[in-house]
A and B are shown apart, each in its own frame.
Chain A
Amino acid sequence: GDSVTQMEGPVTLSEEAFLTINCTYTATGYPSLFWYVQYPGEGLQLLLKATKADDKGSNKGFEATYRKETTSFHLEKGSVQVSDSAVYFCALSPPRTAGNKLTFGGGTRVLVKP
């Protein structure tokens, strides 16, 4: 079945550092890929998405590129802020005909220190 693997945390960074969270997936066909974020005390929210190979999703300074050849969707941000401290989840959904149920990675906790 489908699966998502992402780097384990916690990841501790200083403000303005570069952040990368690795994510790889196993799926049949061409899934859609997502990064969700869970800020402390808040619910899950969509951060960015990419629905086909070579698409780049971006939001709030974060970027991730859908790499079919390496089955990866790594999340990057060039200069993190304390407010980026959160748990980040990589996820996929199957091709359109199968509905949009999400398969999540294990989550990566990021802590940004001032």
Chain B
Amino acid sequence: GAGVSQSPSNKVTEKGKDVELRCDPISGHTALYWYRQSLGQGLEFLIYFQGNSAPDKSGLPSDRFSAERTGGSVSTLTIQRTQQEDSAVYLCASSLANEYEQYFGPGTRLTVT
């Protein structure tokens, strides 16, 4: 079946602009995660959605970052007023409820110029 998909695969934006990154999880997966992979910080957790529960936003680095998940499926990560330090690969993962294995998408490479 289809895996986790993310779009766009690459995004170049100017400093100060807003960007939206999209994640389509595997059908039926109720848990959805966003991570960021950067040279300086490695792989770090950003936010976690599980069903209808309030999301765990403990990893978001600043209030410029937000995410939503509509209808328990597709998720959008929004970064407002982008900064150069936001340049990274943003990874989305999904899993079944209470399952350990997370399935990762290919990522969106964000470059802020």
Contacts and interface: CB of A to CB of B under 8 A. Distances in A.
Contacts of A60: none
A25 interface: no
Contacts of A104: 35, 42-44
30 contacts: A32-B100, A34-B100, A42-B106, A43-B91, A43-B104, A43-B106, A43-B107, A44-B91, A44-B93, A44-B104, A45-B103, A46-B102, A49-B100, A49-B101, A89-B43, A99-B31, A99-B48, A99-B50, A99-B56, A100-B33, A100-B48, A100-B99, A101-B45, A101-B56, A102-B33, A102-B35, A102-B45, A105-B42, A106-B42, A107-B43
B105 interface: yes
Contacts of B31: 99-100
B18 to A, nearest CB: 25
Nearest to B53: A99
A45 B42 contact: no
A106 B31 CA distance: 24
A104 B37 CA distance: 10
Interface residues of B, number: 25
A44 B3 CA distance: 12
Contacts, number: 53
B70 interface: no
Given A106-B42, A107-B42, A100 B105 contact: no
Interface of A: 32, 34, 42-46, 49, 51, 89, 91, 93, 96, 99-107
A106 B39 CA distance: 10
